[in-house]
Amino acid sequence: MGLTSGTGPAEADATAGISVSAVTVFCGASPGRLPGHLHTAAELGSALAGAGVRLVYGGARTGLMGAVADGALAAGGAVTGVVPRALLPYEITHTGLTELQVVADMHERKARMAELGDAFVTLPGGLGTAEELFEALSWAQLGLHRKACLLLDLFGYYRPLLAFLTHARDEGFLRAGDLERVRVCESTHEVMARLSGVETEEPRGAVPT
């Protein structure tokens, strides 16, 4: 189904006919210190729902994970959560989702989330979020998928991580092309434009020039 961000007729025309039916979002189950992180997560969920795109995420009701799911649900969107069976007793699973898939373990969770989404968007998070992002990038490097990998970073949370990737390139452990596999976005609008195949005015990879 076509993607539109709902900001105007010209933008709707630019995104008409683009087929992205589901997006996998990686983010933390904690809210972080800046209230803006929660707002951004909810805004992303709402934007995906408004575009008719299913949200696929880790299934929690807390932190940024809960905010992105609630944002999508409040806007009438479809949300699929993927939860390892071992986490169910901790009572952090979202109970109001369109669909909840319970899998055997964390490995199956990541594989299922990768399978269900047509693209990846990463918001701030901790070790699990970083692991999911790097796995998606590693699989892209190996040619296992060609899905977009977008980093939504309004407040510079991932700046140190991007600096590390630059360092890895300079030390000869990454190629310049590897850094282009992740696109840094500074707004939800930019995420939706990239998911729709609309290039922004200033293309950005993982490493600012």
In Å, what is the CA distance from 183 to each residue of 7, 104, 106, 119, 121? 22, 31, 26, 12, 9
* Beta-carbon-side half-sphere exposure of residue 162 (alpha carbons within 13 Å): 20
The answer to whether the predicted template modeling score (pTM) of the entire model surpasses 0.95 is no
Instruction: Look at residue 83 and give its three-state secondary structure.
Output: strand
Question: What integer pLDDT is reported at residue 198 of this predicted model?
Answer: 56
Q: Which amino acid is at 31?
A: P
Q: Express each pLDDT in 45-61 by its tens digit.
A: 999 999 999 999 999 99
pLDDT per residue, tens digit, the chain (209 aa), is 333 333 343 344 334 444 689 999 999 999 999 999 999 999 999 999 999 999 999 999 999 999 999 999 999 999 999 999 998 888 799 999 999 999 999 999 999 999 999 999 999 999 999 999 999 999 998 989 999 999 999 999 999 999 999 999 999 999 888 888 899 999 999 999 999 885 544 444 444 43
Q: How far apart are alpha carbons 123 and 133 in whole angstroms?
A: 10
The whole-angstrom separation of Cα 189 and Cα 177 is 25
3-class DSSP state of 81: strand
* Predicted pLDDT of residue 89: 83
The sign of the dihedral angle between the CA atoms of 34, 23, 10, 50 is: negative
CA 22/CA 77 separation, integer angstroms: 11
Q: Kindly give, in sequence order, each residue whose CB lies less than 8 Å from that of residue 207, ignoring residues fewer than 6 positions away.
A: 162, 165, 166, 169, 179
Per-residue pLDDT, 19: 62
pLDDT of residue 33: 96
Residues 6+ positions from 42 with CB-CB distance below 8 Å: 67, 68, 70, 71, 74
Alpha carbons 54 and 139: distance in angstroms, whole number: 22
| Alpha carbon separation from 166 to 73, 119, 184, 194 (Å, rounded) | 37, 24, 14, 23
